[in-house]
Amino acid sequence: MLKIPIDEIVEKIKAKTGLSEEIIKKKIDEKVSELSGLVSKDGAAHIVANEFGVQLFKATDSGNLQIKNILPGLKSVAFVARVLRIFPTKEFKTPKREGKIASFLVGDETGKMRVVFWDTNFIKMLEDGTIKENDLVRLTNCYVKEGLNGVEVHAGNRTKVEVNPNTAEAKKIPQIVAHIEAIPRMFIRDLKEGTFEVHGTIVYLFETGNPFFEVCPQCNKRVHDESCATHGKVTPKHSMVLSAIIDDGTGNMRTVFFGNRAEQLLGVNSEEAFKQAEQNNDNFFVLKSKKKELLGKEIICEGNVANNTFSGELEMICRKVSEPNPVHEAKEILKSM
């Protein structure tokens, strides 16, 4: 949490730049507007201070920031962190550009954040195993944005990536097992709002509404009238959503799978599913063709459980789906005995 009062930040900027308090506050308001309300006024003040080179947080001796101090809008950020999870590489295509985008989750003793690679040389480091889960990485000259799930650090053309730096600072960062808090597994009957893991069986698949929606090929955010809030006019690609009821023997719950989680369950990418839907004049053509193998399928869902304001019941937005591992499940049973 940011604890420096905004008036103190304004005073620090004033002392460094000689600008009046009125001008500084105007710049902070402009930054809030520029970022479309994605950051608070306090957050905007930190960004303005950074742009003027005002040091609000004490960096480490090597100039690295801790994750808790990395804010959307900051430029030329350096940090060292441990790789917690590497996500699948995605391809994109727009009228002006096509290529790949890769991302991974990193953490230090103060928090977690997503790192995004656009450069093919950096992406190759993830694809060929140069960067692996549990490795330490030091990135310099990065810029920071607000993503769908929080802070994102993007590597630019001046970014440098160092894998497993042999420094005392890096060695202090917790191991992956120690750092990631275990997501608690719960029976559906005991669920409450929060982040949990559920082991259940698919007992029902919804076939209502339109399962397809358009997203930006660069950032995967929803687009409206072929316009992305971040990247402007784009040629959108399709993503999809799948809703199911999961039952674990103690109760059942609606679970929603977006994007690659839906693709993973169906075994078909969104564009191919959309193509088949158009050819057969049926939005749920792929789902119907896969229904026999999906109904009765056991899965592990990890995600955010919240109260649906329309139904008044708890539902899960799945962020990770997998098939049960027999060895792991046997250990879980033994632990509960």
> What pLDDT is attached to residue 4?
60
Query: Is the pTM here over 0.75, yes or no?
Result: no
Mean pLDDT of all residues belonging to the chain: 83
Cα 311–chain centre separation = 27
Residues in Cβ contact with 103 at an 8 Å cutoff, skipping those fewer than 6 apart: 87, 114, 115, 116, 117, 152
Q: Where are the domains of the chain?
A: 1-56, 58-179, 188-336
> What pLDDT is attached to residue 3?
47
Q: Which residues pair with 64 in a beta bridge?
A: none
Quick check: do 58-179 and 188-336 share a fold?
yes
> What pLDDT is attached to residue 2?
41
> What pLDDT is attached to residue 246?
94
Q: Are 26 and 32 in contact (CB under 8 A)?
A: no
Q: Which CATH number fits domain 188-336: 2.40.50.140, 1.20.810.10, 3.90.25.10, 1.25.40.10?
A: 2.40.50.140
Six-digit token string for 274: 């959309």
> What pLDDT is attached to residue 59?
46
Q: Are 21 and 6 in contact (CB under 8 A)?
A: no
> What pLDDT is attached to residue 285?
95
List own/partner pairs for 26-33 with CB under 8 A and 24 or more apart.
31/73
Q: Cα separation of 142 and 136, whole Å? A: 16
Q: Are 252 and 203 in contact (CB under 8 A)?
A: yes
Q: Cα separation of 231 and 218, whole Å? A: 8
Q: Cα separation of 251 and 7, whole Å? A: 52
Q: Which residues of the chain have pLDDT under 50?
A: 1-3, 59-62, 177-179
Distances (CA, A) of 98 to 74, 270, 314: 26, 18, 40
Six-digit token string for 123: 């992406």
pLDDT per position as a tens digit, 145-199: 877 666 789 998 889 999 999 888 788 887 764 445 557 889 999 998 887 889 9
Q: Which residues pair with 322 in a beta bridge?
A: 300
pLDDT per position as a tens digit, 80-97: 999 988 888 888 777 777
Domain 58-179 classified CATH 2.40.50.140? yes
